Amino acid sequence: MAHAATAHADSGHVDEHHWTSTGLNSRKIAIWGFIGSECLFFASLISTYLVYKGKSLVGPLPHTESQCMLDGKMQTCEAIFEIPLVTFGTAVLLFSSFFVVLALYGAQKGDRKMLLTWLSATVLCGLFFVGMQVYEFYHFYHKGLGYSTNLFGSTFYTLTGFHGSHVTLGVIWLSTMLYLAVRGKLTPDKSLNLEMAALYWHFVDVVWIVIFPVVYLMR
């Protein structure tokens, strides 16, 4: 559909079959427009998190000990965040951005081995990140932080949950690309399909680049 304005051969200086006003691919403009729209989606989530930062009426709290309801009684609960694990997850997601850009390079150059290697690595990194988040949610829940326990729980789980669902969608999309690549259908002239998935993946990564310091590291 890159060239919806298809035309049969015709006189004139313009190649009507491939005519676009900007010379750019329409699907690539669309994915960028979608990313622009998503900026406002995550901005709403992040601003709500920040506006409600420090407004929780009960514990547990992200960085400090607090009184919270755990195992059916009020007690002193430890801080929720465990920075080493999430730092490791952050690094994995960052490297997956590096890997997918190598996979795209391979796809554009027709280097099948490079494409398959790095695309597989990207998908594995994505799966690891989702796994880390599932573990984190499970672990936080058992430390006393339910979804409706306090404002911190609600805003944290909603923000990171929506980010996680974006990562999951990205993993599904990239896995589809990996399937095509294995079948030999991701040839250099079709590399735009991977480029779109990669752009989406990088966007999910830059959102995490904002979330990690703003949510986890700002006390």
Kindly identify the residues of this chain, within the stretch 52-71, that bind other proteins according to CB under 8 A.
52-57, 61-64
Task: Give dist(CA 192, CA 64) in Å, integer.
Answer: 47
Angle in degrees, 0-180, between the axes of helices 191-211 and 151-182, rounded to the nearest 10:
160
Query: Which single residue is written with the structure tokens 């735009």?
Result: 192
Confirm if 163 and 137 have CB atoms less than 8 A apart.
no
Between the alpha carbon of residue 103 and those of residues 47, 99, 194, 206, the distances in Å are 34, 6, 9, 19
Among positions 15-54, residues that touch other proteins (CB under 8 A) are 16, 19-30, 32-48, 50-54
- When the beta carbons of 70 and 81 are compared against other proteins, the nearer one is 81
Q: Which of 69, 78, 82, 95 binds other proteins (CB under 8 A)?
A: 95
Q: Which of 101, 116, 124, 182 binds other proteins (CB under 8 A)?
A: 101
For residues 153 to 172, the per-residue mask of contacts with other proteins, x marking binding by CB under 8 A and - elsewhere, is -xx--x--------------
Between the alpha carbon of residue 21 and those of residues 3, 16, 57, 111, 196, the distances in Å are 11, 11, 56, 32, 20
In the chain, which ranges are continuous DSSP H helix?
A: 26-51, 83-109, 112-142, 151-182, 191-211
Applying CB under 8 A, the span of 67-75, 121-129, 137-145, 147-155 interacting with other proteins comes to 147-155
Among positions 107-126, residues that touch other proteins (CB under 8 A) are 108
Q: Which of 117, 120, 168, 193 binds other proteins (CB under 8 A)?
A: 193
* Residue 139 lies near other proteins (rule: CB under 8 A): no
* Residue 187 lies near other proteins (rule: CB under 8 A): no
Q: Which of 123, 132, 151, 171 binds other proteins (CB under 8 A)?
A: 151
* Residue 190 lies near other proteins (rule: CB under 8 A): yes
- When the beta carbons of 8 and 113 are compared against other proteins, the nearer one is 8
- When the beta carbons of 69 and 209 are compared against other proteins, the nearer one is 209
DSSP, collapsed to helix, strand or coil, labels residue 73 as strand
Task: Give dist(CA 135, CA 116) in Å, integer.
Answer: 28
Amino acid in position 164? G
- When the beta carbons of 70 and 107 are compared against other proteins, the nearer one is 107
Q: Which of 115, 130, 150, 160 binds other proteins (CB under 8 A)?
A: 150
Hey, what are 163's tokens?
């980010």
